[in-house]
Amino acid sequence: MELTSLFTTTSFFKYIFPPAFYAFHGWIATEMAIWALFHPYDAWYFPGTKIAIPCTPGIFPKGRAKLAQAVAQTITDTLLTTEDIKAQAEQLVTQENLYRAIDLFFDAILKEFRDTTKLHRLAQDIAELSPAVLEQLIVSIIDAVESGKDQRVAIVTEKIFDQVVLSARISLDQANDIAARVMETVVTPQHLRQAIISLLSPQNIVALDESIQAHASGPYRLLARIIGVKRVCYEWRNFIEKEPEEADRILAELTKRFGIKDQIALQIANFDLRSLPLQTIAHIKQSVINFVEAFILERKVDILDSVKRIENEAMSTVRSAIVRFNPESIPRDWLDRAKRDTASFCYSYLQRELGELLEKAIPQLGMYSLIARKIDLFTPRQLEEIIRRLCKTELKWLAYLGGFIGGWLGLVQIAVNVAFY
């Protein structure tokens, strides 16, 4: 009799309806709460007023800016910290990884050089830029020499002196040409005659005679008296002054008979700067450096004018060099060695400087601002879709949990009814 009464209408509303109603209530309330997180997207207002209805817009649309800042703060403080980025970067920066990147970079550049259209366009662009770059380089060098704070010119000159000038040797043929030029312009009979006249001045003749009388031994002093050195010198001077043409002929004959030209050429060919004392070499090197710097300062206007005059030639040279460049002409072993040397250099550099570079670069990236701005740019619908996609299962089970709790509350209500009614 008792079991039958459970299925009566009264028993249904007393024992079955409460759990079902409470479960539905819990489920629908949770669903409405979840819906209120995202809806409405915009504020609703009381009709005829500008007063916003409470809880509009939804929680997430209304607090989107704060949500963006909170998410950005969480990511940068806990999920993507500077230490994490540095650790990850240090794991990625290996010599092999750098070699792969440089290999791809080199291949990409060489591939671009195979495109004739791009190559000609690049050649034209660089050629148009080359005069300005060259002029700026020359101006920079001149300013550095004037200020005295930059030693680039001195360093380059020193390297050229050490590697080129110091080890340079003149061949015998070149020495003969130089000697011939010296004989034509310097050691001419006219120059020799003038030099002898200057040498045989009355004061020098008297000094020579006195020196022989004071320092020569007895036989030589006697011979000098017999010959009459002073008289011979005066007669030779008078002959050279009064008979210049004959003196020139005699001097020319003597220089040819004595082989002066061959002697000069032999001395030039055998001359080696490295045989000089180190102090002398250092002095010559410093003199060359001073000469180059002084020349640059004294002729800077002429140098700049020359640079401007060769503008067209510079553009043509650069353009022609780039257009003629053929990537296939590069030896593969040289290219591979260049890639590995570049990778090794980059690896060594990054090993020393990576930490400091990242410490300076990461704050400049503005990760916090970037993440917050990106999230704040989401529309309410996009934000809802993202959260529902990420928390689809959790939100569904949250609604089920609300229904489950409501069902239990209904059972509690039944227990209370049975106990007290």
Q: What is the pLDDT of residues 54-68, one digit of tens each?
A: 767 766 777 777 777
The answer to whether 161 touches 285, Cβ cutoff 8 Å, is yes
pLDDT of 251 strictly over 70: yes
274-285: burial string, b at 16+ Cβ within 10 Å, e else: eeeeeeebeeeb
Cα separation, 303 vs 168, whole angstroms: 27
Mean local confidence (pLDDT), 378-402:
72
150 contacts: CB under 8 Å, gap ≥ 6:
144
Q: How confident is the model at residue 83 (pLDDT cuts 50, 70, 90)?
A: confident
| 307 membership: H or E segment, kind and range | helix 300-309
Q: How confident is the model at residue 11 (pLDDT cuts 50, 70, 90)?
A: low
122-158: burial string, b at 16+ Cβ within 10 Å, e else: bbeeebeebbeebeeebeebbebbeeeeeeebbeebb
pTM: 0.40
325: amino acid identity, one letter: F
Q: Where are the domains of the chain?
A: 14-91+360-420, 157-303
Cα separation, 221 vs 206, whole angstroms: 15
Q: Is residue 57 reached through a cis peptide bond, with omega within 30 degrees of 0 on the bond before it? A: yes
